[in-house]
Structure 1
Amino acid sequence: MTTAAGLRLPTTRTPDPMEAPVLRWGVIAPGGIARSFVAALQARTRQQVVAVASRSTDRAESFARDFGVPAAYGSYEELVADPEVDVVYVASPHSEHAAHALLALGAGKPVLVEKAFTRNAAEARAVFEAAGGRGLFAMEAMWTRFLPHLDVVRQCLEKGLLGEVHMVAADHGQLLHPDGPQRLSDPALAGGALLDLGVYPLSFASMVLGTLTDVTATGSLTGLGVDAQESVVVRNEHGAIGLVGSSMVASTPTTASIAGTIARLELATPFFAQSTLRLVGPDDEVLDVLEPSDREHGLHFEAAEAARCIAAGATESPLMPWSETVAVMAAMDSVRRQLGVTFPGE
């Protein structure tokens, strides 16, 4: 019988983002996540942000001044038509992701689209069909997938270091309602906890478990009909279970774990960012610990992956393939159906 004695965490294989091929980025929608994205690119990569677009020229120009971006546009059409832009980062509300991604792809630009990728799986398929038809790169900006400690997690699973995995747990709760961003309360903007927060633990469970054969959800809604919180149980074809939860009305530990027959992995809070990773034996002995070298930034790893793939002529990344994004979107569609959440225009 294999034991946990002597087990150690593998070394990360994540390439240095500074070494990624340099591309010129255009940013659609200069909100909070776009600010974090551009700050990370400028601090930790050689990528160039050359244009930003907003429906408000003043807002675009303010963002451009703050980050030294050469071009600011008052329409998204102008940005995607800019010949100086190599790739477009879509950071608009979830409700607009599909339209803005299709706009960029239609102009011949590859896209990195914020998570959740779209409102639903049907929209995700439409974006990927457009990208495939034009031979263009498209990827969901599920930035957690590209972090160094997640590469170590993948290696542990690939090498069977944990034994047979039986259970995954992950949660993400932040106190964001009713006093947080207005978009989270608005059904027209595809608001709610699931697409903004729940996508993290659900995507993590999908990465670990593979194809999800069962999705069972319970939760509560706000007065406007978006989800306030949910608890979801997922299962794969081998019977392994994932327990995931999200909330925008309470702050939760925001940790994750993967439990196998030999050992388990514990991802400290916030598990979706650069955080501490522990390898723990069945007797609760800590066998190995990986501490992140950089807790300030993380969004630059996804940009570096996109740049490498685009430079290589790839249309998708093996770390976040199209099929995986569609599968996670389909799981979230199931959760919303069970909770009774629909968005205008679906």
Structure 2
Amino acid sequence: MNKGVGMTKPTKPINVAILGPGRIAVSMAQTLVKMAGVAADDPQFGQYAGLVKPYAVASRSQQRADEFAKKYGFEKAYGSYEAMLDDPSVDLVYIATPHSLHAEQGIQCMEAGKNILVEKAFTANLEQAERLLDAADNTGMLCTEAIWTRYMPSRLLIDQVVSSGEIGDLVSISSDLSYVTNYKERLTDPSLAGGALLDVGVYCLNFADMIMGAREISRISTCMVPYSTGVDASNSSTLIYDDDTMVVATSSMMSQSDRTGRIFGTKGYVEVENINNPGGLDIYGNDHDFIRHVDVPAQLTGYEYEVAAAANAVLEGRHECPEMTHADTLRMMALMDSLRKEWGLKYPFEQ
């Protein structure tokens, strides 16, 4: 699914700015630095040579921006988001702030003429997502969701196994992604759209959606265990599609899980090692007999796929990426809204 990656030859690198130098921004900064350091004749990663430049970082603290820029070699450090948006050299902004801020900040970026790569979850709810994508339509700027598994080569490898008929007709899909993260204030704060669903559950739902696509969901059964602040600490959802395929997705911020995704067919099944960053696929027959292992390609960090897709979209003048279309994003946000509705979970800004 990595359409366009490395296909466009830029005359100059796409200048990337990071908005919000938090934990996830560190991974993006490391990725940009590695991509910028790749040689054109590198046999594995040469397609990224000259594509992007780690250019700027913006924070509400000048000191924090300066420290981040110095550590990762960014050319510009801004002590306000507005100052970064005034820089005409910024081509693409990676938004790395909490979910609840994405819509407002994304709209500001695009109205200032900046393309955006928005960290998952895209927004806190469907209404915010629709406003953000309306702004993309109105401005013609690139707006794409940075859920990295959508852009990885592992997605195509999974598609190939399922579509080949090797495991027979699709019957069910299961996935679990859980980490102990309840010590992070961002994840327990309802005003920041905290909880397991938008942080890790989104990967479980996307894992299934990448296989099922836009097929209609006919039934949903879902529940959650609340944290003391009211956000979901753990959750479980069963989705029945119109072709009777069953999807079971579970996530939590209270425990570690094996992170495995499983795809079951009438002739066997596939186990995907770590749905959050697949390390490989194991294929089994109906007697649990191991058939074969499928490796995924080596990677710089795993974030390079979404960066390259966004950079190439900018170069080609597109305002969405085929790996995660606007329709895909809206479908995921609508699904998560429906789950929260069943739970009776509203964030304070939705009251």
Same fold (TM over 0.5): yes
Deviation track 1:75-109 (CA, whole Å, cap 9, x = no partner) reads 11111221111111100001101111111111111
1:322 aligns with 2:313: no
After superposition, where does 1:113-128 map in structure 2 within 5 Å?
Answer: 113-128=118-133
After superposition, where does 1:67-82 map in structure 2 within 5 Å?
Answer: 67-82=72-87
Note the residue ranges of structure 2 that are not aligned, 5 or more in a row. 36-47
Deviation track 1:166-195 (CA, whole Å, cap 9, x = no partner) reads 101111110111x2x210111111111110
1:251 aligns with 2:256: yes
Deviates more, 1:238-247 or 1:155-164: 155-164
Deviation at 1:134, TM superposition (A): 1.6
Q: Give the distance between the partners of 2:296 and 2:24, measured in 1 at CA.
A: 21
1:134 aligns with 2:139: yes
Contact 1:149 1:292 in 2 (8 A): yes
After superposition, where does 1:1-346 map in structure 2 within 5 Å?
Answer: 21=10, 22-44=13-35, 45-46=48-49, 47-177=52-182, 179=183, 181-210=184-213, 211-213=215-217, 214-268=219-273, 270-294=274-298, 297-346=301-350
Contact 1:215 1:334 in 2 (8 A): no
Contact 2:118 2:144 in 1 (8 A): yes
Question: Aligned letter for 2:281?
Answer: L
Q: Cα–Cα, structure 1 residues 13 and 263, in superposed 2: closer, same or farther, change >3 Å?
A: farther
2:199 counterpart SS class: helix
Q: Cα–Cα, structure 1 residues 316 and 296, in superposed 2: closer, same or farther, change >3 Å?
A: closer
Q: Give the distance between the partners of 1:75 and 1:155, measured in 2 at CA.
A: 46
Deviation track 1:128-185 (CA, whole Å, cap 9, x = no partner) reads 11101222211110101111111211233444443321101111110111x2x21011
Deviation track 1:218-238 (CA, whole Å, cap 9, x = no partner) reads 111111111101001112211
Q: Cα–Cα, structure 1 residues 16 and 122, in superposed 2: closer, same or farther, change >3 Å?
A: closer
Contact 1:165 1:261 in 2 (8 A): yes
Note the residue ranges of structure 1 that are not aligned, 5 or more in a row. 1-11
Aligned residues: 332
Deviates more, 1:16-25 or 1:55-64: 16-25
Q: Give the distance between the partners of 2:4 and 2:161, measured in 1 at CA.
A: 18
Contact 1:102 1:130 in 2 (8 A): yes
Q: Cα–Cα, structure 1 residues 310 and 155, in superposed 2: closer, same or farther, change >3 Å?
A: farther
Q: Give the distance between the partners of 1:195 and 1:20, measured in 2 at CA.
A: 36
Which residue in the other structure is 1:3 paired with? Answer: none
Deviation at 1:339, TM superposition (A): 1.6
RMSD: 2.0
Q: Cα–Cα, structure 1 residues 199 and 59, in superposed 2: closer, same or farther, change >3 Å?
A: same
Deviates more, 1:310-319 or 1:92-101: 310-319
Deviation at 1:262, TM superposition (A): 3.1
Question: Aligned letter for 1:41?
Answer: L
Deviation at 1:288, TM superposition (A): 2.2
Contact 1:14 1:148 in 2 (8 A): no
1:96 counterpart SS class: helix
Contact 2:31 2:303 in 1 (8 A): yes
TM-score by length of 1: 0.90
Deviation at 1:48, TM superposition (A): 0.6
Deviation at 1:275, TM superposition (A): 0.8
Q: Give the distance between the partners of 1:306 and 1:292, measured in 2 at CA.
A: 21
Q: Cα–Cα, structure 1 residues 48 and 296, in superposed 2: closer, same or farther, change >3 Å?
A: closer
Deviation at 1:13, TM superposition (A): 6.8
Q: Cα–Cα, structure 1 residues 36 and 140, in superposed 2: closer, same or farther, change >3 Å?
A: same
Q: Give the distance between the partners of 1:243 and 1:30, measured in 2 at CA.
A: 34
Q: Cα–Cα, structure 1 residues 20 and 257, in superposed 2: closer, same or farther, change >3 Å?
A: farther
Q: Give the distance between the partners of 1:306 and 1:99, measured in 2 at CA.
A: 20
